[in-house]
Amino acid sequence: MNNRITAKNMADLYREAANRYKSLPAFATRKKELEWDPVSFEELYERGLNLATGLIEMGVEAREHVGLFGDNRFEWILADYGVQLCGAVDVPRGRDITDSELIYIINHARIKVAFVETKALLDKFIELRHDLPGLKEIILLDPEASAPDLVHKLDNVIQLGAALRKHGDTRAEERIAGIQPDDLFTLIYTSGTTGKPKGVMLTHANMMSQVKVIPIDLNCTDRVLSILPIWHIFERVFEVFSIACGVCTYYSNVRHLADDLKNVEPTFMGSAPRLWESLYQKILKKVDKSHWMRQFLFHTAYFLSRQYMNSIYFLTGKELKQEPASKLKRIVLSPFHAVRWLLVLPVYGFFNVAVLEPVRLSAGGSLKATISGGGALPEEIDRFFNYIGIPVLEGYGMTETSPVIAVRLQDNIVIGTVGPPMENTELRIVDLETREVIYPNSNRPHKGRGVRGEICVKGPQVMKGYYREPDQTKKTIEDGWLRTGDLGMITFNDCLKILGRSKATIVLSSGENLEPEPIEMKLNQSPYIEHCMIVGQDRKYISALVVPNLEGFRDNGISAGNLEELAKKSEAKRIIQQEIKQVISVSGGFKRFEMIQDVRLIPENFTVGEELTNLFKMKRHVIQDKYGDLIDEMYNGKPVGVA
Amino acid sequence: MEFTTQLLYPVDQVLLAVMIFSIMFGMGASLTIDDFKTVIRYPRGILIGFLSQFGLMPFFAYGLAIFFELPPAYAIALILIGCLPGGTTSNMFAYFARGSVALSIAMTTASTILALLMMPILLEFYTAEFTRQISAEMQTAGSGAEFVIPTMNIIMSLVLVLVPVAMGMFLRAKSRVWAKTAEDTAGFMGIIVIIYLIGTAFVRHSGLMLQTPPAIYISAISVGLLGFLFGYWMSRLFKLSPIFQRAISLETGIQNGPIAFAIILLSFAEPVQSQMLWLAILYSTFIVMSSSFITLYYRRVGKFDFEVYKNTSIHNRLFGDEYVSDYPDGFLPKRIENDPSQGLIPAQKRD
C-alpha cells in the first residue's frame, strides 16, 4: 500500500498534503510531558501561505536565498513553508553556528533576509552586523522572545500576509506555479571535516525523488519522533517524507528522549549511531542492576534470539557475504540451520514474549523501523537491536545526495552493510589510484564484487553542485558520477558495505594502509572512552588520542572532578592502555600493524563546532593541529606531560 | 480406560499447589482497584464477555460431551472447564493479539468474582445427567453410594484460590515494585511447573496417551477453539470494536486451568478424580498451543485497526481528551469507521 503523495516540488507537496490530510496533526510540540500542541496540515499550509505573502511583500524574490538559523521547533517548519511557498530557497543552519561560519555563509550565499530562532542568536547577529553588510531583514522565530526595533516577529509577518491575502493577494500562488523542478529548494552549507564550508545546492527534483523511493511505508496512523537537527538533510528528508505520508512529526530532544519514546510511541524515526549506543548501554546497565533471576532470563532470551535470527539470516541468504558463497557449504549447513531454527522456535517464542517485549518498550515498543545514518553503526550494537527485535536499519548517504544513497530494507536485513542502493540509483566502485571501474565490471570475477574502492553515485538525488564553486563541483561530479570520498565494496548479496573514508586512511611509513574508523569505533564502545582518534600518518606505528569518560571511570571507582584531573592520573592511563590492549588484538580480528603502541589522554572534551562537526564526526585536521604536541611526544619517546 | 497408577504423585500434588498459589498470587499482584473501576467503564464489553464466558462456554462443553458421548467423569470435567472464569494468561495473549488488555483484565477480574455464584449454578444445571450415570455405575459396582457434585466444596475451593489473589492485591497496594517482581516470578514459576507436570504426566503415562480415545482429545481441543470462534463472532455481532472482539475471543477460550486443578483435587475423589485431572491436563496443554496460533493470526489481521486505535488514543493522550482525529475519507474501512466503542475511543467522531 503505497499512499504517499508524489509532487513536482516542495510547495506542490505541501498543498497536496493540506488537501488530503486536512485536520490531521502534521507537527506536535511538547509543552509538558503529556501535553503537546498539534498543528494540522491545513492550518500549517494556510499559515505558510500567509507567511509567504508577507515575505513577498517584504521584497523576497523567487529563487532568493533566505537564511534559516535555528533548531528543531514548529516555527522552523513554518518558516520553511513560507520560504517554499514563495518560491525562494532556504539556507538552514543550527543555533550552534560559529561566528566565522555565520559570516561566511551569509556573505557567500548573499542572504538578504534571515529567520533567526532565539534572542541569544539574534544578539550574535547584532554583534556581527558590520560583517554582514548584505543582510537587510531579520525575522525572529521564538514567539516568547521580544524583538528589538527593526527586527520582525514571525507573527507580524504572517499577519501582514494574511491581511493582504484577504484582499485578494495571490502572489504566493503565482510563485508556486512558477517553480521549476531544477530550482533549488535549499542550500546547505556542510561544515565538512576539512576546509571551509561548501554550499550544497539541492533542487526540488532531488527531494521529490527521495520522497518517492524511500523504501518504507508510512500512513496517517504513524508517528515520527524528531531528534536529529532539522537543518541537516538527513532529518529533513524524513520530515518531508512524513508530510507526504500524512504522518505527524513530534519534536523531541535528547533531554526528554526517554520519556518521549514512551509517551509518543513512535513508529518511525531517523536516528544516529550515538542514540543506539547510549540506549544499548542503558539497557545493559539496567540488566546488570536487576535481580539475578531477570539477568538470567535476559541472557537466555538474548542467546535464543541470536540462534534463532542467525539461522533465519542463513536460510534466507541474509548473512554478510564478503566472499563468493560456496554452494556445497550451503547445502551441507542448511539442514543444521533448519533443525536449529525449529528446535529454538517454541522456546524463543516464549522468551520473546515474556522477556524481550519489555526491553523493546524502552524504545517505545511500536517502532516499525528506524534508519540510522550520519555515521557507521558499530556492528555489535546493530546486531543487538536486530536480535532483540528493534528493526534498526542502517542507511548511507551525504548532503550532496540529498542524502540517501543506500538503505537496508526491512525484509532484507544484511547486518554489516547499508543495504542495496535506492531505486533509480547507480553505484560504482572505483579504484582509488587507477580510476578503473571495479564494480560493475564484467571483466572481473563476480563482476567486481568483494573488492574495495571509492564509492561513486549517479542518480536523481545527486546535487546540482556547490554554490559558486565550479571547480569544486567539477572535481566532485565527473560525467554525472559523484565521488563520495568513501571506501566501500559490493557484497555477494548485492549490498553496499562501507569501509571508511578514503581521506582518513593512514599510511604508515612502512607503506601499510589502514582505516582508523573501525578501530576508533571499537574503542568508543568502551565505558572508559568518550572519544578517541588514531594517528600515525607517515610514522612507524599508530597511536591514540583519547578523551576519557568521566562517568565511566566514576562507575568503576576512580572519581575525578573534571577531565583535566582525570587525564593527569597515571592509573587512568594504565586502565585505558589495558582496555586498548584487550579490545584491539590480533585475536579480535585486527592486523599486527593496527596495534596501538602509545596513548595520550586529552584533558578536555571535544566540542561541536571545534573538534567535532555538527554530526559528531571528528575534524581530524583540527584535532591534529590542536594536539600536535601530544602527538609528537608519542613518537619522540619522551614519556612526560599530560599523562 | 482405567487408571492403574496414580496420575499425580504426592510430590506433584505439592508442586501443583505451589503453582496454583503462585499463579493466583501473581494474578492478584497484577490487579489494582482501578481494574475493578474499568469493569464499570466498559459495561457493554463486559456484559458480552460475560455472556460468552458463562453462556457459550458451558453450553459448548455440554454439547461436546453429549455429541461424543463422553464417559461421565470426562464429561463433568469438560463442563467444569467450560464454567471456569478466565485465566490470567489471556491478558498476555490479548496484548500480543493487539486486543484490549484493559478489557481482558476487567473480564478476568469480573468472571473470577462472578464464578463464585455462576459455577455452582451452571454445574448443577449441566452435569445432572452425568452424575446420575456415575451413581448408577457405582450402584451396579455395589458400593451403594450416591455421587453428587460437591457444590459446597467447589465454592470453598474457589474461595481458597481467591485468598492468594487477595494477598497479591495487598502486596500491589503496598509496593508496586515488589508486586511486579512477584508477578513476573509467579508467571515464570507457573509455566515451569506446568511444563514439568505435563512433561512428567506424559512420560509416566505415555500409555495413557495412546489409550485415550480420540473423542476426548477432540473435545479437549475443541472446547477452547469453539470459545475463540464464537466469542469473536458474538462480539462482532454486537458491533464491538475489533480490539474488543479479539480480547473477548481469547478471554472466552482461555479458562483458568489452575482453578480446575484446585477444584478437582479438593472436591472430587477417586474413581473420578484421575479421569477429570487427565482432561484438565489435556485442555491446559492444547490451549497454550491453540491460543498461540490464534494470537499470531489476530496479530496479523488486527494490524491496521490496532494502529488506528493506537494513534488515535495517543492523540488523546497528548493533545487532550477532546481532540478529534479525522482521518481522510476512505482511509478507514467501514468496519471501524463509526466505531461505537462506548467511550473507549473518545477521539473518534460520533454523532
Give the strand pairing for A89-93 and A65-69. parallel
Same domain, A381 and A463: yes
Residue B16 corresponds to which amino acid? L
A297 contact residues in B (CB cutoff 8 A): 188
pLDDT at A176 over 60: yes
**Which of B304, B310, B318 is opposite residue A34, by nearest beta carbon?**
B318
Domain interval for residue B139: 10-301
Whether B96 and B89 have beta carbons less than 8 Å apart is answered as no
**pLDDT 10s digits, A3-27:** 899 999 999 999 999 999 999 999 9
Residue of chain A minimizing CA distance to B178: A291
Q: CB-based contacts of A357: which residues, under 8 Å, 6+ apart? A: A365, B96
B326 or B182, which is more confident: B326
B229 or B268, which is more confident: B229
- Using 50, 70 and 90 to split pLDDT, how confident is the model at B344? very low
Least Cα distance to A382 among A483, A335, A313 occurs for A313
Residue A84's DSSP bridge partners are none
pLDDT, position A68: 97
Residue B313 distance to chain A (closest CA, Å): 10
Query: Does the residue A294 lie in any domain?
Result: yes
**Which of B191, B317, B328 is opposite residue A220, by nearest beta carbon?**
B328
Query: Does the residue A4 lie in any domain?
Result: no
Query: Does the residue A251 lie in any domain?
Result: yes
Residue of chain A minimizing CA distance to B312: A221
Query: Does the residue A108 lie in any domain?
Result: yes
A21 contact residues in B (CB cutoff 8 A): 328
Query: Does the residue B83 lie in any domain?
Result: yes
Same domain, A383 and A489: yes
Query: Does the residue B346 lie in any domain?
Result: no
Average of pLDDT values for B295-324?
A: 90
Residue B247 corresponds to which amino acid? A
Average of pLDDT values for A485-512?
A: 83
pLDDT, position B77: 94
Same domain, A124 and A260: yes
Same domain, A255 and A279: no
Cα radius of gyration rounded to whole Å, chain B: 21
* A34 contacts chain B (CB < 8 A): yes
pLDDT, position B350: 30
Query: Does the residue B21 lie in any domain?
Result: yes
Query: Does the residue B313 lie in any domain?
Result: no
Contact state of A221 with B307 under an 8 Å Cβ cutoff: yes
Whether B135 and B147 have beta carbons less than 8 Å apart is answered as yes
Residue A38's DSSP bridge partners are A28
Query: Does the residue B335 lie in any domain?
Result: no
Average pLDDT in chain A: 90
- Using 50, 70 and 90 to split pLDDT, how confident is the model at B186? confident
Same domain, A266 and A280: no
pLDDT, position A189: 93
Number of H helices and E strands in chain B, helices first, is 16, 0
* A588 contacts chain B (CB < 8 A): no
A264 contact residues in B (CB cutoff 8 A): 314, 318
Query: Does the residue A549 lie in any domain?
Result: yes
Provide the CATH number for the domain around residue A600: 3.30.300.30
pLDDT at B151 over 80: yes
Same domain, A431 and A510: no
Provide the CATH number for the domain around residue A391: 2.30.38.10
Whether A80 and A26 have beta carbons less than 8 Å apart is answered as no
CA B282-B286-B292 angle, to 5 degrees, is: 160
**Dihedral angle over CA of A378, A381, A384, A387, nearest 10:** -50
Contact state of B191 with A350 under an 8 Å Cβ cutoff: yes
DSSP secondary-structure letter at A443?
A: T
Tally of domains within chain B: 1
pLDDT at B121 over 80: yes
Contact state of A263 with B318 under an 8 Å Cβ cutoff: yes
- Mutation pick from A43, A218, A221, A291 vs chain B, by most beta carbons of B within 10 Å, is A221
Same domain, A97 and A227: yes
B181 contact residues in A (CB cutoff 8 A): 291
Query: Does the residue A621 lie in any domain?
Result: yes
Query: Does the residue A431 lie in any domain?
Result: yes
- Using 50, 70 and 90 to split pLDDT, how confident is the model at A275? confident
Same domain, A316 and A381: yes
Q: What is the strand order of the sheet A392-397 is part of?
A: A35-40, A25-32, A248-251, A223-226, A268-271, A369-372, A392-397, A404-407
Same domain, A534 and A465: no
Which region holds residue A389: left if phi is over 0, alpha if psi is between -120 and 50, else beta? Answer: left
Give percent above pLDDT 70 in chain A: 97
Same domain, A368 and A422: yes
Same domain, A475 and A360: yes
Chain B positions with Cβ closer than 8 Å to A? 92, 96, 181, 184-185, 187-188, 191, 292, 304, 307-308, 310-311, 314-315, 317-320, 323-328, 331
- Mutation pick from B191, B291, B304, B311 vs chain A, by most beta carbons of A within 10 Å, is B311
Residue B105 distance to chain A (closest CA, Å): 17
pLDDT at B342 over 60: no
CB neighbours of residue B281 within 10 Å = 23
Average pLDDT in chain B: 83
Tally of domains within chain A: 3
Contact state of B181 with A22 under an 8 Å Cβ cutoff: no
Residue of chain A minimizing CA distance to B288: A350
* A638 contacts chain B (CB < 8 A): no
Average of pLDDT values for A358-372?
A: 87
- This complex has an ipTM of 0.81
B328 contact residues in A (CB cutoff 8 A): 20-22, 24, 220, 246
What does each C-alpha distance from A589 to A518, B318, B342 come to in angstroms?
Answer: 11, 49, 61
Least Cα distance to A438 among A447, A497, A477 occurs for A447
Domain interval for residue A155: 10-179+214-271
Query: Does the residue B124 lie in any domain?
Result: yes
Query: Does the residue A209 lie in any domain?
Result: no
- Using 50, 70 and 90 to split pLDDT, how confident is the model at B5? low
**pLDDT 10s digits, A475-490:** 899 999 999 988 899 9
Of A157-171, A284-298, A318-332, which one has max mean pLDDT? A157-171
Query: Does the residue B309 lie in any domain?
Result: no
pLDDT, position A3: 83
Same domain, A37 and A164: yes
* A223 contacts chain B (CB < 8 A): yes
**Which of A264, A293, A349 is opposite residue B314, by nearest beta carbon?**
A264
Contact state of A264 with B318 under an 8 Å Cβ cutoff: yes
Provide the CATH number for the domain around residue A69: 3.40.50.12780
Provide the CATH number for the domain around residue B22: 1.20.1530.20
How many residues are given for chain A?
Answer: 643
pLDDT, position B75: 94
DSSP assignments along A18-51, one per residue:
HHHHTTSEEEEEEEETTEEEEEEHHHHHHHHHHH
Contact state of B319 with A36 under an 8 Å Cβ cutoff: yes
E-assigned strand segments in A108-247: 113-116, 137-140, 151-153, 184-190, 198-203, 223-226
Whether A455 and A461 have beta carbons less than 8 Å apart is answered as no
Instruction: Write a three-state SS string for B212-244.
Output: CCHHHHHHHHHHHHHHHHHHHHHHHHCCCCHHH
